[in-house]
Amino acid sequence: MSNKTTGSYTTTGRLVIISGPSGAGKSTVVRRLLDECDLPLEMSISATTREPRAGEQDGADYFFISDEEFQRRRKAGDFLECKEVFGLGHWYGTLKNQVASGLNDGKLVILEIDVQGALAILDQKEFSPISLFIQPGTMEELEHRLRSRGTETEQAITARLETAGREMLFLHRYQHEIINDSVDRAVSEICQILKVQKEKQACSKS
């Protein structure tokens, strides 16, 4: 991942940060984007210490690992960024080895991560990620989506809603705001933004 001569990250690929409140529809939109957007996209699979939900697969949705393993890998420097999200004791982190080959191969490597993690990457000068903040329209809609998804306890829903209020304050740090009131529209807007960025990058190299 690190360019041996300059010590900086290679610029052939690009990180794409997709974040925003839990329940805004990030996973739904990213899944569709990977299927429908005609660009060299690659998903970075994060590690987490939370329990898998019904239907989630290790190595596809996340690498589900123990607290001990997570902290061991954290100390070993395996993460590009990692955070305890929602204050419920669950850690999430972007693994360096998940982004390295994609960046070297010129891919747009998608990081679906929380706002703290996004800010940590935006603060690292060696990256110039494309950053998108997905939001649901209203807090009422967010709560409705979290409840109807049916995956969280009441405590987890409350933590997500409280965190959402704080996350909205960082919207200005992102290049693009996507209001996900229609998945079709959100997917096509994001695909269009990524195409424009990819074109710009190609032009600046030629």
Ligand X SMILES: Nc1nc2c(ncn2[C@@H]2O[C@H](COP(=O)(O)OP(=O)(O)O)[C@@H](O)[C@H]2O)c(=O)[nH]1
50 binds ligand X (CB under 6 A): yes
Provide the pairing of β-strand 41-43 with 47-48: unpaired
Which residue of 17, 113, 159, 190 would you call a contact of ligand X, by CB under 6 A? 113
The binder of ligand ADP chosen from 128, 155, 182, 192 (CB under 6 A):
182
Single out the residue of 74, 96, 149, 176 in contact with ligand ADP (rule: CB under 6 A): 149
Q: Which one of the spans 9-17, 40-48, 115-123, 143-151 is the region binding ligand ADP (CB under 6 A)?
A: 143-151
For 163, the enclosing helix (H) or strand (E) is helix 154-167
Angle between helices 26-36 and 183-205 (to 10 degrees): 60
Decide which of ligand X, ligand ADP, none touches 70; Cβ closer than 5 to 8 Å per partner kind: none
The answer to the question of residue 107 lying near ligand X (CB under 6 A) is no
158 near ligand X, judged by CB under 6 A = no
Task: Let me know: does 102 contact 80? Beta carbons within 8 Å.
Answer: no
Q: Which stretch binds ligand ADP (CB under 6 A): 25-33, 69-77, 100-108, 116-124?
A: 25-33
CA dihedral 130, 122, 81, 42 (to 10 degrees): 10
**Nearer residue to ligand X within complex by CB, 85 or 178:** 85
Helical segments of 57-168, H only: 67-75, 96-104, 115-122, 139-149, 154-167
Dihedral sign for Cα 47, 179, 17, 19, please. negative
- The contact set with ligand ADP (CB under 6 A) reads 22-28, 145, 148-149, 180-183
